[in-house]
Structure 1
């Protein structure tokens, strides 16, 4: 039961063949068995979770569930406020004593839906990088080998989902932080259009940062997005309801979903370089879509690497949040974060910031024009598979900075487009490979429809992680 999807659990509850209490007990048992090895969950509340599960079981028994998520176990990345629990964001600068009296919008929506909140998952300090470790909480491992990084910054959530520590989780993504770990752990994650999922308090990384679903299937991602999207008065950028359901946008017939779809395959975006096994898996995924009826062509979007502009926006935000903790705070954070802030954040001027924003706007205009011709863009999520845990970059790599090995994710934070990562294969030594699908702003429905069709055609998302299958 621990690897059942949220959709399967909900169907089982409705049929009376599964129980919210049993599902919660199973998820907690996985935490007990594996968390000592992978360090994905930093706190749980078994008593509170089981009490919530019993209440859910009674509602299902009366035929009065709060909705399809009622009784589904969920974890929360420790960047989201959670009433009664500390939110320390992986940093020793934050006092866990609180008080902690408020839920972030997405957490509040999950509670209102009857979801069983199991606990909180690990993040690097202030979610600043593409792997998950911190001086405060240690190193998080991967479900496909605890010696491997799960990526980041939502690595704890990805490992939790992959192992069955809850059916799904919510994470944040400012430069790839739900998609990178989805790629490394063989799970599914969506960075929705900016504003689709309300965020509070505002991210220090400003309008680069999105919140998004982390699941095992696109079907679950659509359901979770239905739950956590919509306006919240605390987020002035939150978009109004779409008037429809993201789950309802999924088509049970993949051929019908893909017929006439214009798909641009760009393995490098015109400037990247991939591990051959990664590129082979992505090429195979494009062929699967074409065989099912999509029109696929190899086309680069005609953009340049925006990493320099991204660094200015990202690390000025980091400098601002660290500076709020007083004199000497920068000397007490992750040394890699401190180096990057010194190199990119502190020297940046207002003119540099405006120049970076100009790069961002030009990129958005270019991608808007691109999607007038192409419905969906395909790239690798990352050019490499998971590497050793506890490192910021692979061994013998030209740079320690996480953006040096994530060229395909941060551009779409710059443009605020929806981007989805789904599993599309493995390397020869069984490390997962992720396929990134990108659509025009506000076309989350199309993106989910295509991703769901791909998962109906393939079985990569159903593979069981190495830790659960043994040697």
Structure 2
């Protein structure tokens, strides 16, 4: 979509100013119902006029005049960035993140910032500063999180591209719940600056879009090394411009796991994803094997890592934070932190090594692993941080999303692509690749999208 819009702006068929006006009209009409965008860029019309002036001079950039939305924990110079926290309610950065910088260099216009849970710590979108974001498919349900505002923005057409980040599923979960495409790159493919205070080494920025091709173009613009992120300097160069041909498709080997050996999955979600996986046979994929990799469940290790890092970050403002924070955090974060020792934090890496030992066996035999993105469809907002049971079976905190975080810990690229509806709510399928096979995951997602039409479904708000 954005490619066609760019061409229209560049050839004068539509001005960037007109384009921004159309998107703003849609935001003004629908955002009050869903609360996806929390801050608008008050300079965006002036910036659009500047893009139109350049177009008239024959200067046309890769995202020339295209509006984008950005999650509210990514720095945007001159535009409020709150992290969903009352502590940062008036924070206006005096510098851009690398992502914001590259988007602007490519001619994109930052339309506004999208809602998120406070500091991105949970898989829903609610905070004391802006309140709850609602799922456009059912306003009584969550869009997921933590990039929930971004996923809703794409589902409702507030912008053709939104940038989120993912430290345990925060791009893929809301993409699944909102029926859009989300991509989590391998670490440092998109350089990260400033570095995160929490989810260190496992959080990555990435695109949420309606069309896979838009995500590929976005990755082409945002990827590549930057001295401010030293780890990006050793990332292998990835070519985001090739096409997947039919002969290549035949050689692809896909492993499918319905639960990774430990997850509880809603039976209708499981059936929808299973049907989607085997549709790859219609596209020419010859090897599709169902496997049980019997992976260790590292959710406790993830929580240990996040809790220790967040407590370290907030320590100097702990008492002030307690007074204004999202109250459920006080019920699980602080009590959990008080039980931890430094031994627990150090052991996380050992646990991840065991996880990778199991996964490496899978990826020696197969090119891609496919799972449900999430165990359930979007749940009711009144259920809080998650449902208490799935298929009549009691589940604990976070067990409704068991399939995304392992691949943050192992540093693998993964996408969520819409593949159907259950009770008129979207279901996502997760495609996981080998480390730094980012374009492979995107190409396979694109190939699926081009042959099936689930990406065209729209919520009726």
Q: TM-score band (shorter)?
A: over 0.9
Taking the aligned partners of 1:400 and 1:83, their CA distance within structure 2 comes to: 40
Alignment of 1:195-214 (within 5 A): 195-203=188-196, 204-214=198-208
Alignment of 1:121-200 (within 5 A): 121-200=114-193
Q: CA deviation at 1:80?
A: 0.6
Taking the aligned partners of 1:442 and 1:256, their CA distance within structure 2 comes to: 22
Taking the aligned partners of 2:421 and 2:247, their CA distance within structure 1 comes to: 28
Q: CA deviation at 1:64?
A: 1.6
Q: CA deviation at 1:146?
A: 2.0
Q: Deviations over 1:399-426 (max 9, x none)?
A: 573x221100111111111110010000
TM-score, length basis structure 1 = 0.92
Aligned to 2:257: 266
Q: CA deviation at 1:307?
A: 1.1
Matched-pair contact (CA < 8 Å) for 1:318–1:341:
no
Mean Cα displacement is larger for which, 231-240 or 433-442? 231-240
Taking the aligned partners of 2:4 and 2:178, their CA distance within structure 1 comes to: 21
Q: Deviations over 1:341-393 (max 9, x none)?
A: 22332322111111111001221233233212110100000010011125211
Closer/same/farther in 2, CA of residues 312 and 140 from structure 1, 3 Å limit: same
Alignment of 1:181-330 (within 5 A): 181-203=174-196, 204-239=198-233, 242-246=236-240, 248-251=241-244, 253=245, 255-294=246-285, 295-330=287-322
Mean Cα displacement is larger for which, 333-342 or 290-299? 333-342
Mean Cα displacement is larger for which, 285-294 or 343-352? 343-352
Aligned to 2:352: 360
Closer/same/farther in 2, CA of residues 283 and 55 from structure 1, 3 Å limit: same
Taking the aligned partners of 1:257 and 1:75, their CA distance within structure 2 comes to: 35
Taking the aligned partners of 1:245 and 1:73, their CA distance within structure 2 comes to: 25
TM-score, length basis structure 2 = 0.94
Taking the aligned partners of 1:56 and 1:126, their CA distance within structure 2 comes to: 33
1:449 to 439, 443, 451: 443
Taking the aligned partners of 2:338 and 2:362, their CA distance within structure 1 comes to: 35
Aligned to 1:81: 75
Mean Cα displacement is larger for which, 308-317 or 361-370? 361-370
Matched, 1:350 2:345: no
Where 2:38 maps in the other structure, the secondary structure is strand
Taking the aligned partners of 1:95 and 1:24, their CA distance within structure 2 comes to: 26
Matched, 1:24 2:33: no
Aligned to 1:66: 61
Taking the aligned partners of 1:433 and 1:395, their CA distance within structure 2 comes to: 19
Matched-pair contact (CA < 8 Å) for 2:38–2:114:
yes
Structure 2, unpaired ranges of 5+? none
Q: Deviations over 1:159-207 (max 9, x none)?
A: 0111111111111111100000000000111110011112222222211
Taking the aligned partners of 2:235 and 2:26, their CA distance within structure 1 comes to: 36
Matched-pair contact (CA < 8 Å) for 2:10–2:64:
no
Closer/same/farther in 2, CA of residues 8 and 465 from structure 1, 3 Å limit: farther
1:13 to 4, 9, 12: 9
Taking the aligned partners of 1:323 and 1:241, their CA distance within structure 2 comes to: 33
Taking the aligned partners of 2:331 and 2:415, their CA distance within structure 1 comes to: 31
